[in-house]
Amino acid sequence: MPTIESLFSQLQKPALWQRTPAPFWDDEHISKGMLEAHLNPDWDAASRKYETIDRSVKWLVEIIPPGGKILDLGCGPGLYTKRLSEMGYDTTGMDFSRRSIAHAKSQDAKTKYILKNYLELDAAGEFDAVILIYCDYAALTPDERRLLLPKISRALKPGGLFVLDVFSEKIHEGKNESKSWTFHPNGGFWNAGPHLCLEAVYLYENNTVKASHYVVATQNEVTKHIIWDTAYTVQKMADEVSPSGFQIKGVFDDACGSAHTPATETLCFVLEKAN
């Protein structure tokens, strides 16, 4: 049985960009809860509310050439790809959650679904657009982003679009680090059995990087999950993507194409690959 000392030692502030070995997206139990969250039409959790997704797709159709080839990275259960395929696009979805990909395939026979970590993307000049929506890009470490950007650029046709959204630096203004805990005697999101969840939020680099740190203790084991998030400005994104041949074509408040405002807590970028 874990001791109090071992639990609190696990909850110490991690080194910046530390990764933990415990699975998260493809964990056998956690992936069940993730899929339920994806499929809840009224919950902004794993995916955005269906109403918001519908607005996003309507906007994407306005900016991506009709009938083009679209790659959805981190596609989950295919909520965007299915809608886009029904609009006449040639769609491909990539995700490394077995449960999400299985659900997507069961609901959408038109889209090609690939069970794969998108950091291993290997395509050349195939797509008119790549989308990475719901702030997934900023959950990557700097090394992972430097690995991914050239792969996306290579996958796109000349002039192709990369659409992604992130949180802006406004999201952390006035926020402080925090710690809390909850007990789940009948199981819950993190584990099917009784467990204790200790949660901490840590901030780095002048509150532009956040670590959501979870320590989950059962009677027999302790597991740890760290989820990173980087906040962006327009200039920070421009500096990051330009070495991979991208230029910013448009900046919006969200992935529905809302006009950009200084107070926004999210940013959506339409990047264009140079011809």
- 50 shares its domain with 156: yes
Beta bridge partners of 230: 209
Predicted TM-score (pTM) of the model is 0.95
- 256 shares its domain with 178: no
Sheet of 90-95, strands arranged across: 112-115, 90-95, 69-73, 127-132, 156-167, 266-273, 246-252
- 248 shares its domain with 186: no
pLDDT in tens, the chain (275 residues): 566 677 777 889 999 999 998 888 888 999 999 999 999 999 888 899 999 999 999 999 999 999 999 999 999 999 999 999 999 999 999 999 999 999 999 999 999 999 999 999 999 999 999 999 999 999 999 999 999 999 999 999 999 999 999 999 999 999 999 999 999 999 999 999 999 999 999 999 999 999 999 999 999 889 999 999 999 999 999 999 999 999 999 999 999 999 999 999 999 999 999 98
Secondary structure (DSSP) of 212-242 = EEEEEE-SS-EEEEEEEEE-B-HHHHHHHHG
Count CB neighbours of 144 within 10 A. 16
- 79 shares its domain with 138: yes
- 72 shares its domain with 50: yes
139: Cβ–Cβ under 8 A, 6 or more apart, which residues?
227, 228, 229
- 44 shares its domain with 163: yes
- In this prediction, residue 112 carries a pLDDT of 98
Q: Show the tokens assigned to 116.
A: 């794969």
Q: At what angle do helices 98-107 and 30-38 cross, to 10 degrees?
A: 40
- CATH for 269: 3.40.50.150
Q: Which residues span the domain enclosing 132?
A: 39-168+232-273
Residue 34 placed within a domain: no
Residue 33 placed within a domain: no
- 224 shares its domain with 207: yes
- 221 shares its domain with 110: no
Backbone dihedral angles phi then psi of residue 175, each to the nearest 5 degrees: -85, 150
Q: Calculate the alpha carbon distances from 116 to 81, 113, 144, 268 in Å.
A: 16, 9, 15, 25
Total domains present in the chain: 2
For the chain, what's the residue count?
275
